[in-house]
Structure 1
Amino acid sequence: MQVNINGIETRYVLSNEGGGPWLTFIHQLGGDLSVWDQLAGYFRDRYTVLRYDLRGHGRTAASGASFGVANLSHDLATLLDTLGASSSHLVGMSMGGMIAQQFAMDHPARVNTLTLCDTSGGTLPEARAIWDQRAAAARKDGMASLVPATLSRWLTAEFQTAHPEAVEQIVDVLTHTLPEGYAMACEALRDFDARGKLGTIRCPTLTVAGRHDTGTPPAATQAIADAIEGAQFELLDAAHLAPIEQPHRFAALLETFLERPV
């Protein structure tokens, strides 16, 4: 399905066979909603599951101007408004986790629970140049130039060998991401820093990291849990895309977390 969100044609998929509470999945930089296919299938019988493509990713149009993570949070709010959802459980991975953090601060009453995977509370000053380099590479050399290094961060060598079909889909999505959309998203992440505000988040929060994540070390994700009162931290045997490498373990963690009494 396509809908115009803040002037941008946005693709989303809504699975509401279960008719239950809303559960929204937000994908990573260089990804699209298909990364959540398996997990969406697991939860759709009990939840109203929403997935969507971020600006300049998948089949969502690129932004005509630069944007920040706050704009991406506003996109999500507008999408939920359009679909008639007053609140949702949020699951965000990597860039999606940054958007979820921002949304929880912008719209605290609309977040039932918060699950943050392989993400950080902000970019350290010394790491800002990395985002500039990735943006420049996308614009100058195209997305294919980013695939080898990205794949080595995202997935362990063992997973890549054991699941070539999953790797092929992830690479295909990354390669077909709009270079300018990717570059502008890099610049949004470069400027994101919620670390001083995480303590204002009051909703139940689960954070999950991959033990072998070199791009976003587990300590960065654990720091989010440390900053949010009562937050839970879990470590999986995976790299950056931990929910994808360990879908059964992640689904079990998420299911338990979503169903626990508040």
Structure 2
Amino acid sequence: MQINVNGIDTRYILSNEGGGPWLTFIHQLGGDLSVWDQLAGFFRDEYTVLRYDVRGHGQTAVSDRQFSVADLSQDLRALLDALGVKKTHLVGMSMGGMIAQQFALDNPDRVDTLTLTDTHAATPSDGRALWEQRAATVRNEGVGALAQATMERWLTAGFRDAHPEVVEQIREVFENTSSEGYAHACLALRDFDVSSRLRGITLPTLAVAGRHDAGTPPAATQAIADAIGGARFELLDAAHLAPIEQSQRFTALLESFLQKLV
């Protein structure tokens, strides 16, 4: 389904066979809502599951201007408003986790629980140039130039060998991502920093990291949990896309976390 959000034509999918509480998933940079297919299928019997393509990704239109993570958070708020959603459980992976943090800080009354995976609260100063380099590369060569290195960073070699069909689907989505949308998002992540505000989050929070994540070291995700009072931290045997590589374990963790709080 498509809806106009802040002037951006936005794709979203609702799975609400159970008609229960809202559960919203936000995907990673260079991804789209399909990365959550398996999880949506599991939770749709008990929750109203919302997935959407972030601005400049998937089938959501590309912005004609540079945007920030705060803008992406406002996109989510506008989408929830349009769908009549007062509160939701929020799950964000990588870039999605940054959007989720921003949204929870800006709209604490709209969030039931917060689940953050493979993400950080700020881009370190020595990492800013990397985002600028990636933006320049995709603008000059297309996102395909980053595909192989990205798959190797996102998923362990063992998983890639055992599940080539999963890797191929994720890679296809990545390669079909708009170069300009990807570049805009890179610069938004370059400037992201909510680290000084995290202690203001009082929501029940689950933070999950992949033990083999070289791009976002587990310590970065654990630091978020340490800063949020009462937050729970879990480490999975995975690389950057821990909810995908360890889908059964992540599903069990999320189910247990949500059931304790519903």
The alignment partner of 2:9 has SS state of strand
Q: Which letter maps to 2:249?
A: R
Once superposed, which parts of structure 1, at least 4 consecutive aligned residues long, lie more than 3 Å away?
Answer: none
Residue 153 of structure 1: how far off its partner (Å): 0.8
Aligned equivalent of 1:22: 22
- Alignment match, 1:210: 210
Query: Partner residue of 2:70?
Result: 70
Which amino acid letter does the alignment assign opposite residue 203 of structure 1? Answer: L
Q: Secondary structure at the match of 1:49?
A: strand
Q: 2-side partners of 1:131 and 1:26: how far apart?
A: 20
Normalising by structure 2, report the TM-score: 0.99
Amino acid in the other structure paired with 1:183: A
Output the CA distance in 1 between the equivalents of 2:175 and 2:194. 30
Q: Which runs of 5+ in 2 are unaligned?
A: none
Q: What per-residue deviation string (whole Å, max 9, x for no partner) do you get for residues 172-196 of structure 1?
A: 0000000000000000000000000
Match of 2:171 in 1: 171
- State percent identity of aligned pairs: 70
Amino acid corresponding to residue 223 of structure 2 in structure 1:
A
Whichever residue aligns with residue 75 of structure 1, its letter is D
Q: What's the CA shift for 1:152? A: 1.0
- 1:215-261 Cα deviation digits (max 9, x unpaired): 00000000000000000000000000000001110000000000114
Letter in 2 for 1:57: H
- Is 2:88 aligned against 1:88? yes
The 2-side partners of 1:104 and 1:91 are apart by 11
**What is the one-letter code of the residue matched to 1:92?**
G
* Equivalent residue, structure 1, for 2:157: 157
CA distance, structure 2, for counterparts of residue 69 and residue 176 of structure 1: 22
Mapping for residues 221-232 of structure 1, pairs under 5 Å: 221-232=221-232
Instruction: Find the residue that maps to 2:51 and give its secondary structure.
Output: strand
Pairing of 1:34-73 with structure 2 (within 5 A):
34-73=34-73
Q: Secondary structure at the match of 2:181?
A: helix
How many residues end up aligned between the 2 structures?
A: 262
Q: Which aligned pairs between 1:243-258 and structure 2 lie closer than 5 A?
A: 243-258=243-258
1:63-212 residue pairs with structure 2 within 5 A?
Answer: 63-212=63-212
CA–CA distance in 1 between the matches of 2:118 and 2:124? 16
Q: Which runs of 5+ in 1 are unaligned?
A: none
Aligned-partner SS, 1:196: helix
Structure 1 counterpart of 2:187, one-letter code: E
Q: Distance in 1 between matches of 2:257 and 2:187?
A: 33
Give the secondary structure class of the aligned counterpart of 2:195.
coil
- Output one character per residue of 1:52-83: Cα deviation in whole Å (capped at 9) or x when no partner: 00011000000011000000000000000000
Give the SS at the match of 2:85: coil
Secondary structure of 2:209 counterpart:
strand
* Amino acid in structure 1 at the alignment position of 2:11: R
- Structure 2: how far apart are the matches of 1:73 and 1:161? 36
CA distance in 1, matches of 2:15, 2:39: 12
Structure-2 separation of matches of 1:158 and 1:219: 23
CA distance in 1, matches of 2:171, 2:104: 30
Q: Which whole-Å deviations, capped at 9, do the CAs of 1:139-189 have from their partners, x for residues lacking one? A: 001111001111111000000000011000000000000000000000000
**1:26-73 alpha-carbon deviations (Å, 9 max, x no partner):** 000000000000000000000000000001100000001100000000
* Range 217-226 or range 252-261, more displaced: 252-261
Query: Aligned letter for 1:60?
Result: T
**Structure-1 separation of matches of 2:112 and 2:215:** 29
d(CA) in 2 for partners of 1:257 and 1:144? Answer: 37
